[in-house]
Amino acid sequence: MNAESHAPVVATDQRKQRPVRADHLLIAEMVAPGSRVLDVGCGDGALLELLISQKDVDGRGVEISRDNVNACVARGLSVIQGDADQDLSGYPDKAFDYAILSLTIQATRQPKVVLENLLRIGHRAIVSSPNFGHWKIRAGLLFTGRMPRTPNLPETWFDSQDSHLCTIKDFSDLVALLNAEVQDAVAFNSSGQRLAIKNSLSLQNLLGEKAVFLLCPREKS
């Protein structure tokens, strides 16, 4: 893990005693204590709560669902209603140490623009994404000829909001296109176990069900 990882992260939220998503645990390890964090598409605020309790961050959230915003505010979190596709352009450059997007980029209308804004708003961006290149998805397409449904992608194709599914390789290509640098990348399976294949993008793309990327803009020469 990157050099800014510090205190270990427990696998349950001690205040709520509820399970913590595997990608949230990995994200928390990548965030330095006391950082300024913007969680885009923060949902019910579970990641923000984890980062505040474990890393003492100054956390803010943006969430499109009014119900989720109300739930976050009721839990004492600083969250506003907003759309990742429309509202990130109003944030100033480098306003946060980390801009985070967890399991949301595939549901955005313009993933390239959203990632550009994350890299502009934060000194670093952290993105987690399901991997459409996982071997089970490949096998499902090959043997059934239908869009696969998995625990990570449970909805039918006509009900899903995931309009921009991609593989780990696809996302890595987008990062390169934006001239950003991957400082850390971790692929993991459905049980949250990390795959010890960090140096092989092809194996990550085949065996990883999800991945978390720590990104930063490349310094201009």
Domain ranges of the chain: 12-133+164-217
3-state secondary structure of 113: helix
Task: Give this prediction's pTM.
Answer: 0.85
- Per-residue confidence band for 9, with pLDDT thresholds at 50, 70 and 90: very low
Q: Are 27 and 212 in contact (CB under 8 A)?
A: yes
Span 21-55, pLDDT tens digits: 889 999 999 999 999 999 999 999 999 999 999 99
Span 95-139, pLDDT tens digits: 999 999 998 888 898 999 999 999 999 999 999 999 988 888 888
- Superfamily of structural domain 12-133+164-217: Vaccinia Virus protein VP39 (3.40.50.150)
- Separation between Cα atoms, residue 214 and residue 221, nearest integer Å: 21
- Average pLDDT on 10-21 reads 59
**Most distant CA pair in the chain: distance in Å?**
50
**What's the pLDDT score for residue 4?**
41
Q: Are 83 and 101 in contact (CB under 8 A)?
A: no
Q: Is the pLDDT of residue 5 over 90?
A: no
Kindly state the tokens that stand for 182: 């991957």
- Separation between Cα atoms, residue 70 and residue 66, nearest integer Å: 6
**What's the pLDDT score for residue 161?**
66
Q: Is the pLDDT of residue 17 over 80?
A: no
**What's the pLDDT score for residue 183?**
93
